Amino acid sequence: MNRDDFPMLNNNNIIYFDNGATTLKPKCVIDAVNNYYTNHTSNIHRGDYDAAIDTNKKYDEVRHLVSDFINCDPNSVIYTSGATMSLNMVVFGYMKKHLKTGDEVLLNKAEHASNILPWIHLQEEIGIVIKYVPLNDDYSLTLDNIKKMVTPKTRVISLAHISNVIGDIRDIESIGKFAHDNNILFNVDGAQSVPHIKIDFKNSNIDFLSFSSHKMCGPTGVGILVGKYELLEKMDPIFYGGGMNNFFEEDSSYELKSIPTRFEAGTPPIAEVIGLGEAIKYLKNIGMDNIHNYELKLRNYFLEKVKDIDNIIIYNKNANSGIIIFNIEGVFAQDTSLYLNHYKIAVRAGNHCSKMLKDEINIRNTVRVSFYFYNTYEEIDKLIEALKMSKDIFKVVL
């Protein structure tokens, strides 16, 4: 779908299956970024000249695009540098202030480093207790397993909507309702879901949602944190400086600006925010249901074809997203990715920042293929063909 929109696909003879890491950029996004630098470079908030007024309008408009895209209040949309920063703001700006020693936070071992390490650090700082919800036999995460881990001390459930390795879509509507009914905060990492499926912030009872622009056809360097407004009112900024205060005086009194501006100290990534706005319009135009359904078709096509190759081990057959992890039997994942690079096929090898998942799947490193709407059946045929010839892998990579 829409391949002509992507200069990188047209200019390079590559097959790009590393969309879980980052996505390619359509021309409209590149043009929007270029247009800012070419025609209306200026800072936001403080300029009275035409370019600045134009920039301000374009920049603020993106909050409304986000709000419309995921159904949330535009005033609770905070621009960050990416999902990692967003998640750290939740943990150190909100949780650090409102959790206390002994409070329990439910995580799971398939989470990305960004949704585990900040919590481990908070554990060191204030003595929260981290509990890992067991995964099912197919490594998916269910509400039933979450319920089994809940105690009267459970204060937070924090999880990725879609795991970046297993690719299972977690039932956030049910989990959100359960969390809400039990007075538990629900923190969602949407980095792998917002670009691929429809998500409804309000109706899923989400308290905080984090995601990155660059995984959804937008520029790098910008991301979003959305929080319930009443929670954001009780959250501390991580950064203090220009643009986020009303005044500060010699007697150390100061006043912060309103939400969300108080969380955006310094000059933000203006071009990138504007580019993200274009990306959202672009994805909306294609339709999130169309994107998800097409990715599932690609997935099923790959799984059907790969059945014919007997030395490929697939670890997440049951997942329902465009993420597939596998290994060629007896071959180190990185050797496989280098081998596929020989055929101009871009995949990712490693633990995919989920370093605890090895405890569950008993293997440390895998090859990850992650599809997006611009991938094709023909590209999958080429991957299958390369995998079929992989008995000669060391003649190629050595």
Which residues participate in catalysis according to the annotation? 353
336-375 footprint of other proteins as x/- string (CB under 8 A)? --x----------xxx------------xx----------
Closest residue by Cα to residue 81 from 249, 247, 265, 220: 220
The single residue among 207, 264, 278, 335 that binds other proteins, judged by CB under 8 A, is: 335
**In the numeric block, which tokens belong to residue 310?**
């007997």
The single residue among 130, 334, 353, 389 that binds other proteins, judged by CB under 8 A, is: 334
> Distance (Å, rounded) from C-alpha 359 to C-alpha 103?
25
Does residue 398 touch other proteins according to CB under 8 A? Answer: yes
Q: How far is the CB of 338 from other proteins (least distance, A)?
A: 7
> Checking DSSP bridges between strand 15-16 and strand 345-346, what pairing results, if any?
parallel
Q: How far is the CB of 353 from other proteins (least distance, A)?
A: 11
Stretch that binds other proteins, among 157-165, 222-230, 289-297, 330-338 (CB under 8 A): 330-338
The residue among 283 and 328 lying less far from other proteins, judged by its C-beta, is 328
Does residue 332 touch other proteins according to CB under 8 A? Answer: yes
Q: How far is the CB of 63 from other proteins (least distance, A)?
A: 36
244-263 footprint of other proteins as x/- string (CB under 8 A)? --------------------
> Distance (Å, rounded) from C-alpha 3 to C-alpha 373?
9
- What does the buried/exposed string (b/e) look like for 164-196 if buried means 16 or more CB atoms within 10 Å of the residue's CB? bbbbbbbbbeebbbbbeeeebbbbbbbbbbbbb
Crossing angle of helices 27-39 and 270-286, rounded to 10°: 150
Does residue 35 touch other proteins according to CB under 8 A? Answer: no
Size of the site for other proteins (CB under 8 A): 14
Sign of the alpha-carbon torsion through 194, 198, 202, 203: negative
The residue among 126 and 397 lying less far from other proteins, judged by its C-beta, is 397
Does residue 333 touch other proteins according to CB under 8 A? Answer: yes
Q: How far is the CB of 394 from other proteins (least distance, A)?
A: 5
Q: Which helix (H) or strand (E) holds 313?
A: strand 312-314
| Distance, C-alpha 118 to centroid of its chain | 16
Q: How far is the CB of 295 from other proteins (least distance, A)?
A: 26
93 within 8 A of 78, measured Cβ to Cβ: no
The residue among 21 and 338 lying less far from other proteins, judged by its C-beta, is 338
Dihedrals phi, psi of 110, to nearest 5 degrees:
-95, 5
**Site residues for other proteins per CB under 8 A:** 332-335, 338, 349-351, 364-365, 394-395, 397-398
